[in-house]
Amino acid sequence: MALRFGLVGTGFWARITHAPALASTEGVQLAGVWGRDAVAAAALAADFGVTAYGDVDDMIEAVDAVAFSVPPDVQAAIALRAARAGRHLLLEKPIATSLAAAEALARAVRASGVASVVFFTARFQPLVRAWLAELAAVPGWVGGSGLWLGSAFQEGSPFDTPWRRDKGGLWDVGPHAVSLMWAALGPVVAVRAEAGLGDIVHLVLRHESGATSTVTVTIGAVPAAARTTCFVWGGAGRSAMPTEHAGSEVALRVALAELASNARSGAVDHPCDVMFGRDVVAVLAEAEHQIRTDLS
């Protein structure tokens, strides 16, 4: 029997990634849509032949799981209610923009015993997963570097949204960078942060293994400069993350299939579950705190 999902969100990412993936993943059924814009929710629901809900709690009650495509603070509050109602969760990164909210959500998920997956997009890309598996098989990686230059602030970008204007690249693309460095070099145990011009942030990460890595993030780059790179080095030489990826919908179908499998089996642990999402928020919150302290 298919796992029935309600989708929270009606924006660009919900329309191009979440709704299509939910409607095309085996063992998963898109059963309803709720959004803060009721007109947009009705239109998206009509496109996929599902119910548009006027009340998010009514939708939560009617489904088995909830997928989110809304700003992180909106997500954190609604996901908390969904977890307490016993619904499985497909979350966007970051799961919240404060450690307190992330911890509250993680506690609710654990207390309810529901399955959770956070959609760190690259972590569900087949070629990136193969690369990370290769790294895990070779010991001795001592360092790494990641560069995430996005252009969300360009006029006309569908990602030029209020929450990104407020939180910048640290919270938008920073979760991707930290997630990948964590997967490549092991858990992050300390971070040092330095702000550059605009929303540019430089991070130095110290990993439990003793390795160190650096990350530079922004979403204020011009399109000609936008790029993503990630590599590690050590005794075996240098290894770079593949730059060719399947589309975001393909990656989300992988995440949904793994969430559905855990939900059916009763498993709650996943490499990208809500507990990991909380750990990534802890790194970002500490970085933000350091930057604010330095600028005050």
Domains and CATH numbers, the chain: 3-121+248-273 (3.40.50.720), 126-243 (3.30.360.10)
Residue 225 burial class via C-beta count within 10 angstroms: exposed 0-12, middle 13-18, buried 19 and up:
exposed
Angle (CA) 168-173-179 rounded to 5° is: 135
pTM of the model: 0.96
**CA pseudo-torsion sign 278, 23, 241, 193:** negative
Query: How much is the pLDDT for 245?
Result: 80
Q: What is the pLDDT along the chain (296 residues), one digit of tens a residue?
A: 899 999 999 999 999 999 999 999 999 999 999 999 999 999 999 999 999 999 999 999 999 999 999 999 999 999 999 999 999 999 999 999 999 999 999 999 999 999 999 999 999 999 999 999 999 999 999 999 999 999 999 999 999 999 999 999 999 999 999 999 999 999 999 999 999 999 999 999 999 999 999 999 999 999 999 999 999 999 999 999 998 787 899 999 999 999 999 999 999 999 999 999 999 999 999 999 999 998 87
Under DSSP, the state recorded for 158 is T
- Output the pLDDT for position 246: 79
Separation of alpha carbons 144 and 130, rounded Å: 18
